[in-house]
Structure 1
Amino acid sequence: MTSLALGPAAPLTPATPLTPAAAATQRPSEGSVHSWDLSTGVDGPGTRFVTFLSGCPLTCLYCHNPDTWKMRNGKRTSADAVIAEAGKYVRFISVSGGGATVSGGEPLLQPVFTGELLHRMKHELGLHTALDTSGFLGVRATDALLRDADLVLLDIKSWDPATYTKVTGRPLAPTLDFARRLADLGQEVHVRFVLVPGLTDDPANVEGVAAFAGGLGNVSRVDILPFHTLGEAKWQALAMPFTLHGTPSPTPEQVAAAREVFRAHGLNAV
């Protein structure tokens, strides 16, 4: 299990979309990488080599990695270095039925670097690939990038637009647009929904996400993730107020009830 030491990098750039043509002509060999790790169970099927990129346009109230929000907090790292590190674990990963996931932060803030990693993980290392994204910058993902992602892990943080903006600081519509695009492409998707008491657990909100996901036709799994405060120490270390301090985790019964709402829409909710 390996992590990169943090170091200075380029400042966070504005989240302006790249056109597919512009993205296709760019082949940078470096990106801002926060860390890499091996994980099981939360970043796609099997044991995964997960590359966490730095920079995110969202400021989620329950984020457990706020240290990934700024690109300058990452380390400029070559794609060759990431591929070389992942290559050390190919045999182990393959035996476990796992693969490689590009996560963040928000990987689509660095769409060309993300595309290069996915392409090389898939075609050079022969690994199952996953893109972990909020979908807010989905317009930056070219069709070529998505073809190199065997799976998209899509966070749909709320159905109610006001709640979504309260949670993330951003509007909901881009995520829903990206989800519909993935459905049109027939891209396999795992939806993830964080259940936060008093914030996202309103029955109408849960029903809205479930109905939307159930109507897409390409969602093979839904993860209902119980809110927790394990990342609060990072907020404190960054001198950032954790506004959800004191918010309880949902009870097992509340999580089970949310799963049943999704299952009622024909979804495999876990």
Structure 2
Amino acid sequence: MTSFPPPAPDTPAPAGPPSRGPTAPVTPAAAVGRRPAVGSVHSWDLSTGVDGPGTRFVTFLSGCPLSCLYCHNPDTWRMRDGKRTTADEIVAEARKYARFIATAGGGATISGGEPLLQPVFTGELLHRFKHELGLHTALDTSGFLGARATDALLRDTDLVLLDIKSWNQATYRKVTGRPLHPTLDFARRLAVLGKEVHVRFVLVPGLTDEAANVEGVAAFAAGLGNVTRVDVLPFHKLGESKWNALGRPFLLHDTPSPTPEQIARARAVFTGHGLYAV
């Protein structure tokens, strides 16, 4: 494998303006003698089927070190565009739905942006979702900043949704602007820990759909031993309007979505390696 120099350290941008206060009673961090965990949050939402099993309370954090060509949330790239929010506020929101979510077999997911750009805040949320609300927890990450995930953070994570965007290193850098090897290193660490992983692979015609590229991702995922599901996600242009609003050129404007046959062929590669692919 080609050796890449380590990436330059990321400097978090200033957080945005204060958000509104908690909407449900909580025990403030100050009341137990510690400073409240504060992060830059883009939004939160309830979702089903796309952010982990069951109905999920999903917190989208702001800030991402990647610049993926097909990103459908480019408005989450900069930390300074998020709202300065405490963990108490997020947990208070999640608490409203915790009983319903648990009954529905769901949980809480930290997404982004890239959650590991804010590892302390992410770790606090995962810990409280799991131990205070009793919810199944998931971390949605590119893995590029996997070295920032402490063992404690991963102990509080039941499932990692890991984006492996390409096996070909040149293609990966073209798609993301970053090298591939940190993601693979993180995947191997998760395998050693026995942490359940769902791999996500975006199929982009003319970019990531080359047979050898799909085969490489499939063989790597199958060799880990802890990947229980692969999501082959068809490229779409639903985020193009956000790129336009931000004044950024959407370079994949003329790229078509994959056909059902192309998606089926890619899934077949993963199932051929003994993986469950959807």
TM-score, normalised to structure 1, is: 0.91
Q: Sequence identity, in percent?
A: 82
Question: 1:62/1:145 Cα in 2 relative to 1: closer, same or farther (>3 Å)?
Answer: same
Q: Which residue of 1 aligns with 2:194?
A: 186
Q: Please report how far the alpha carbon of residue 113 of structure 1 lies from its aligned counterpart in structure 2 after TM superposition.
A: 0.3
Q: Conserved in 1, the CA contact under 8 Å of 2:15 and 2:40?
A: no
Partner residue of 2:78 out of 70, 76, 80: 70
Q: Please report how far the alpha carbon of residue 28 of structure 1 lies from its aligned counterpart in structure 2 after TM superposition.
A: 5.1
| SS in structure 1 at match of 2:42 | strand
Superposed CA offset, 1:82-121 (max 9, x none) = 0000000011111211000000000000001000000000
| SS in structure 2 at match of 1:130 | strand
Q: Conserved in 2, the CA contact under 8 Å of 1:28 and 1:113?
A: no
Q: 2: distance between equivalents of 1:158 and 1:73?
A: 28
Moved runs in structure 1, 4+ residues, more than 6 A? none
List runs of 5+ in structure 2 lacking aligned partners: 1-12, 17-33
Partner residue of 1:91 out of 93, 99, 119: 99
Q: Please report how far the alpha carbon of residue 11 of structure 1 lies from its aligned counterpart in structure 2 after TM superposition.
A: 5.8
Q: Matches of residues 21-40 of structure 1 in structure 2 within 5 Å?
A: 29-40=37-48
List runs of 5+ in structure 1 lacking aligned partners: 1-8, 13-25
Q: Which residue of 2 aligns with 1:19?
A: none
Give the number of the structure whose alpha-carbon radius of gyration is greater: 2
TM-score, normalised to structure 2, is: 0.88
Q: 1: distance between equivalents of 2:100 and 2:236?
A: 30
Q: 1: distance between equivalents of 2:56 and 2:194?
A: 23
Q: What amino acid sits opposite 1:262 in the alignment? A: F
Superposed CA offset, 1:211-250 (max 9, x none) = 0000000000000000000000000000000000011000
Q: What amino acid sits opposite 1:194 in the alignment? A: V
1:42 aligns with 2:50: yes
Superposed CA offset, 1:8-62 (max 9, x none) = x7169xxxxxxxxxxxxx9651100000000011100000000000000000000
Q: Matches of residues 63-212 of structure 1 in structure 2 within 5 Å?
A: 63-212=71-220
Q: What amino acid sits opposite 1:90 in the alignment? A: A
Q: Conserved in 1, the CA contact under 8 Å of 2:143 and 2:187?
A: yes
Q: Which residue of 1 aligns with 2:7?
A: none
Q: 1: distance between equivalents of 2:35 and 2:123?
A: 9
Q: Which residue of 2 aligns with 1:222?
A: 230
Q: Which residue of 2 aligns with 1:258?
A: 266
Q: 2: distance between equivalents of 1:143 and 1:268?
A: 27
Q: Conserved in 1, the CA contact under 8 Å of 2:15 and 2:83?
A: no
Q: 1: distance between equivalents of 2:138 and 2:175?
A: 24
Partner residue of 1:249 out of 226, 239, 257: 257
Q: 2: distance between equivalents of 1:116 and 1:241?
A: 36
RMSD value over aligned CA atoms?
1.3
Q: Conserved in 2, the CA contact under 8 Å of 1:197 and 1:250?
A: yes
| SS in structure 1 at match of 2:47 | strand
Q: 2: distance between equivalents of 1:185 and 1:136?
A: 18
Q: Conserved in 2, the CA contact under 8 Å of 1:83 and 1:117?
A: yes
Q: What amino acid sits opposite 2:184 in the alignment? A: L
Q: 2: distance between equivalents of 1:37 and 1:96?
A: 16
